[in-house]
């Protein structure tokens, strides 16, 4: 699926969405276990930081895009007090099927849909989150515009995404881990045959840099956009607000 030819320019592939969907359906059984291992257990803290940036209120309606097996949904629901409703959207059926929400305080609604064509009305949610998903959009601009379309005036967008560290030495170490150690380790655990963990580092390396993604968020209609680096810049929490009418 993600062979050497496809990985030359993964974000330029006309069939990127189809490949990404099939990839996530295939790796769904081992997805959470692999995440914990290859992130060295840091992924939970990244999501908590994103939830804190969103600052959800008890009456908020939260939309989590590319929700996968529900890590961000559970992170939002663990907020005290939790938001009243969390809608999780993903186009990979197997990822949605693997989510577990026993004991979750918020009401949960799962929807299988493409993040570029959301089945929600304009200005219908107060928070939109996307953890490690915007990099996988077939069309980044269209996806960000869709996020803003469904967001209420004054609502918040929070994006959690991988990034190349700005410091050259840290960037070298990050690439060494992501491009050599991580694929081997993830393959060992998941037995993946789709090339998912070769796609991951390549998609990070060829994606928008931190400042460029912040500009994209502003261009989609958000104000007060911030980009907070975590773990020496290998992960970034982006936050923006839709202008109030």
Residue 236 is predicted with a pLDDT of: 98
Among 240, 65, 215, 40, which residue's Cα sits nearest to residue 137?
A: 65
pTM: 0.96
Domain assignment of residue 1, yes or no: no
What is the C-alpha to C-alpha distance for residues 23 and 199, in angstroms, rounded to an integer? 10
**Tally of domains in the chain:** 1
Domain assignment of residue 161, yes or no: yes
What is the C-alpha to C-alpha distance for residues 187 and 242, in angstroms, rounded to an integer? 40
> What is the mean predicted confidence (pLDDT) over 165-169?
95
Domain enclosing residue 28, as ranges = 6-242
CA atoms within a 13 Å half-sphere pointing along the CA-CB vector of 171 = 9
Q: pLDDT (tens digit, 9 = 90+) per residue, 174-205?
A: 999 999 999 999 988 898 989 999 999 999 99
Q: How confident is the model at residue 245 (pLDDT cuts 50, 70, 90)?
A: confident
CATH number, position 104? 3.40.50.150
Token pair for 70: 């529900």
What is the C-alpha to C-alpha distance for residues 65 and 145, in angstroms, rounded to an integer? 13
Q: How confident is the model at residue 221 (pLDDT cuts 50, 70, 90)?
A: very high
Domain assignment of residue 69, yes or no: yes
The CB density around residue 49, as the number of other CB atoms within 10 Å, is: 18
């Amino acid at each position: 699926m993600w062979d050497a030819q496809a990985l030359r320019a993964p974000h330029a592939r006309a069939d990127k969405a189809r490949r990404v969907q099939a990839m996530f359906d295939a790796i769904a059984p081992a997805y959470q276990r692999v995440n914990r291992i290859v992130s060295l257990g840091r992924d939970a803290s990244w999501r908590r930081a994103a939830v804190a940036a969103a600052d959800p209120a008890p009456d908020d309606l939260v939309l989590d895009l590319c929700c996968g097996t529900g890590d961000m949904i559970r992170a939002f629901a663990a907020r005290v007090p939790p938001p009243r409703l969390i809608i999780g959207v993903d186009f990979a059926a197997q990822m949605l099927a693997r989510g577990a929400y026993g004991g979750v305080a918020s009401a949960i609604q799962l929807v299988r849909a493409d993040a570029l064509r959301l089945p929600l009305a304009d200005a219908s949610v107060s928070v939109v989150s996307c953890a490690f998903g915007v990099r996988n959009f077939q069309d980044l601009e269209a996806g960000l515009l869709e996020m803003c379309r469904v967001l209420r005036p004054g609502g918040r967008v929070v994006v959690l995404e991988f990034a190349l560290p700005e410091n050259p030495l840290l960037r070298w170490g990050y690439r060494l881990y992501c491009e050599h150690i991580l694929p081997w380790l993830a393959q060992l655990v998941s037995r993946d045959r789709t090339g998912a963990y070769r796609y991951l580092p390549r998609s990070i390396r060829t994606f928008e840099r931190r400042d460029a993604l912040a500009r994209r968020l502003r261009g989609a209609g958000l104000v007060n956009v911030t980009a907070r680096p975590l773990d020496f810049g290998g992960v970034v929490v982006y936050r923006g607000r839709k202008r109030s009418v």
